[in-house]
Structure 1
Amino acid sequence: MIRLIQAEIKHAQPISELIQALAKKYVCPTCDESFHETLLGSMTSQSIKEYIQSGYQYHIAIDPESNIIAVIGMRDSNHLYHLFVSDDYQGQGIARKLWEMAKSASLRHTRHTHFTVNSAVNAEHVYKNFGFKRIAGIRTRGGMVDVPMRLDLSENV
C-alpha cells in the first residue's frame, strides 16, 4: 500500500536522490547542457532541506518498504515547484494524488485563486490533466526550457 505524507527535513536526502535521478533522465535532455549543473544543484539534499526550512511544503509517496517513490513540492503555497514519480510507479495516479493532497493543504491555509507551474516540456500533458493551461509558449531562460502554466480555480469549480 502506498502512503502519502508530509515530508520532513529527515526526508531531504532520499527526496534529492529521487528527483535528481529523474531530472537527469527526463528534464536535462530538454534543457541546454550548460544548465544541467545548475538544475541538479538546486535539487541537492542541502537545497531540499533549505526549501523545507524556508516554508516550501513537500509531500511524499512511500511504498510498503518505506522507500520514497514520488514527491511534490510547493513554493509560496501556490507554485508547484517539484513533481516527480519513480519510473516503476508512473501511470498509477500517484502524481494526481500528491497534487490533490498538496493543493488541499495549500487551500487550508490560504485562499488562492490560482496555482502555477513551470512545466518541463515533456511533462506538460501531466499538468494539462490536472487542469493547468499554458500562459505562454515554450521558453528558454538561462538554459532552462519550460512551459509556464496556470490553473485558475474559478474555472475548475
Structure 2
Amino acid sequence: MLIRPMTDADLPAAASLMRELSLEFILHEGSADAAAFFTAENDEAGLRGFMAAGTVYYAAEIDGALAGFIALRGNSHVYHMFVDKVHHGKGVARALWEHARRQARERGNRGVFTVNASNYAVAVYGRLGFVRTAPTQCKNGIFFNPMQLDEAAHG
C-alpha cells in the first residue's frame, strides 16, 4: 500500500468512492434533501474546491487503484476518510490516519485532533483513539458524532 498526497487525477475515483460509501453508510439515516445536498457538495468539483481551500488530502493506493483517502482541515480536523469496502478491516484506515497524523504533527499540530464521525464510523475512530465529546448531532439532515483525540490524554 502506498500512501501519498491526493492529486487531481484521483478526484474522479475519490468522488465516486465517497458517493457510493456515503449513500450506504451515512445518508440513509437522513432525508432525501440532505443526501442530495451532501452528494452535490462532495462531488469531484467539491473535492477540488476543498483542496484549493487548503484541506489536505492523502490517498491510499493498492495495486495502482485508489483504496481510500483521508482529508485534514485546519491541520487538526479529519474532514473526510473513506475506504473502499473491499479493503475494510485490512488496516487501510489506520494507515491513512497514521500518515495524516504524522504529517499534521510535522506541520505543528500538538496532538489534538477532531472528527465528526458518522454513526457507522464511531467504532473505527474509537479504535484509532478518538473519544466522543458530545451525543449524536444532526446538521443539515446529516447525523454525526463529535469526537476528539488528545494524544497527551490518550497516552
TM tier, shorter chain? over 0.9
Structure 2 partner of 1:11:
10
Q: Is the 8 A contact 2:75 2:109 kept in 1?
A: no
Structure 2: runs of 5+ lacking an equivalent:
none
> 5 Å matches for 1:44-83?
44-64=43-63, 66-83=64-81
Q: Is the 8 A contact 1:70 1:85 kept in 2?
A: yes
Amino acid at match of 1:27: I
The two structures, once aligned, show a CA RMSD in angstroms of: 1.2
1:125 is paired with a residue of what secondary structure?
A: helix
Q: Is the 8 A contact 2:76 2:109 kept in 1?
A: no
The two structures have a TM-score, normalised by structure 2, of 0.95
> 5 Å matches for 1:71-110?
71-110=69-108
Q: 1:33 Cα deviation (Å)?
A: 2.8
How many equivalent pairs are there?
155
Amino acid at match of 1:10: A
Structure 2 partner of 1:129:
127
Structure 2 partner of 1:112:
110
Q: 1:47 Cα deviation (Å)?
A: 0.8
Q: Distance in 1 between matches of 2:120 and 2:93?
A: 15
Structure 1: runs of 5+ lacking an equivalent:
none
1:149 aligns with 2:147: yes
Q: 1:63 Cα deviation (Å)?
A: 1.6
The two structures have a TM-score, normalised by structure 1, of 0.94
Q: CA 1:87–1:111 in 2, change beyond 3 Å: closer, same or farther?
A: closer
The ranges of structure 1 where at least 4 consecutive aligned residues each deviate by more than 2 angstroms after the TM superposition are 30-34
